[in-house]
Amino acid sequence: MGIAVGKSIKEAEKFCKENDLKFTPVRRKVLEILLQKNKALGAYEILDLLREAGFKNQPPVAYRALDFLVKNGFAHKIEQLNSFVGCMHPGKDHSPAFMICRNCDFVSEEEAINPNFSVSKIASKAGFKVEKAVIEARGLCHSCASMA
Amino acid sequence: MGIAVGKSIKEAEKFCKENDLKFTPVRRKVLEILLQKNKALGAYEILDLLREAGFKNQPPVAYRALDFLVKNGFAHKIEQLNSFVGCMHPGKDHSPAFMICRNCDFVSEEEAINPNFSVSKIASKAGFKVEKAVIEARGLCHSCASMA
DNA sequence: GCGCAAATGTTATGTTATATCATGGAGGAC
DNA sequence: GTCCTCCATGATATAACATAACATTTGCGC
Ligand SMILES: [Zn+2]
Ligand SMILES: [Zn+2]
Ligand SMILES: [Zn+2]
Ligand SMILES: [Zn+2]
């Protein structure tokens, strides 16, 4: 295991301890897998790796662990790929922007937390050549927000 | 059919004529469905509506039409919802940003073509209260881009 | 120990998307 | 007009992604 992976796992462990979350073996293992591979993995790829590591391998095993990791900010879902990546900035409340290379499959996670950051600024900062950008915000439309 | 729908269909027709694309009955019907409903629809919902309109309803029927519409800019896929919307700015080369209301399911398409536009600027312009933003760029990483 | 809540085990199924091969139909070359 | 090619469509099957539902186990406060 790389040093960075070990460090991230330790941070997750610490965060869970502080927030009464259970960092169970399967959750830890899934996070390790994501961090070690350092690229987007589908739930069923993760499932295969879990089986190899001696865990159960029904779909809910992977999806539950992924739900936990995503919900608590240790991993993210890449919507375009129906797949998941380990978080590169764990512990902090953040708003990620992903740069996904179509050639080498590498995924880099950039910070978009500054509300004035644009996709093109983020990309140029990362040296990434954007061919297609997916920008989707979920929330409340003007009309629904004004009713609440 | 609303006037705006008819106008969009006409524009698509014109664009196809000019670009040697075949605006076949099933493609036209799927675009009409998307524009009329004015919200994100899953492929299988579209399939049901196609069947009601007397078209065949195997999955490839919908997916092929949607591929055509998306590829040529008449519709967009909403990745977070695995669903599709008709384009609000057809004909122009554009880079959309979607605001998806979790309360009323309305999807608005904003222009993000100005590279200095940020998600938060787009949202505030649209009166939209963002709760979660998905930002995913596909393209070439620094290393792969420099090799090409 | 007992009872509760959360996590995991297990089976089944739902949902989204594509592969593959057959058939049909418009338009150009001759 | 006939043949040929290309592309769209028809049709069947299956792959890939995700969740529902209920049983069982585990950890923890009492
Ligand atoms: Zn992150
Ligand atoms: Zn690359
Ligand atoms: Zn559009
Ligand atoms: Zn709304």
A115-128 pLDDT, tens digit per residue, is: 667 888 889 988 99
Q: Domains, chain A, ranges and CATH?
A: 3-86 (1.10.10.10), 96-147 (3.30.1490.190)
With beta carbons under 8 A apart, name residues in chain A contacting B129.
139-140, 145
CB-CB contact of A32 with A9 (8 Å): yes
The pLDDT value recorded for residue B130 is: 94
B128·A139 Cβ contact <8 A: yes
B112·A121 Cβ contact <8 A: no
User: Distance (Å, rounded) from C-alpha B121 to C-alpha B127?
Assistant: 10
With beta carbons under 8 A apart, name residues in chain B contacting A143.
104
Listed in order, strand segments (DSSP E) in B7-120 are 75-78, 83-86, 96-101, 107-111
The pLDDT value recorded for residue A51 is: 97
- Residue A65: pLDDT over 80: yes
CB-CB contact of B74 with B86 (8 Å): yes
The pLDDT value recorded for residue A148 is: 79
Residues in chain A: 148
User: Distance (Å, rounded) from C-alpha A135 to C-alpha A77?
Assistant: 14
The CA dihedral of B33, B36, B37, B38, to the nearest 10 degrees, is: 120
Query: Could you say which residues of chain B have pLDDT below 70?
Result: 1-3, 115-116
The contacts of residue B50 (CB under 8 Å, 6+ apart) are: B26, B29, B30, B33, B56, B57, B61, B62
Q: What is the average pLDDT value for chain A, to the nearest integer? A: 92
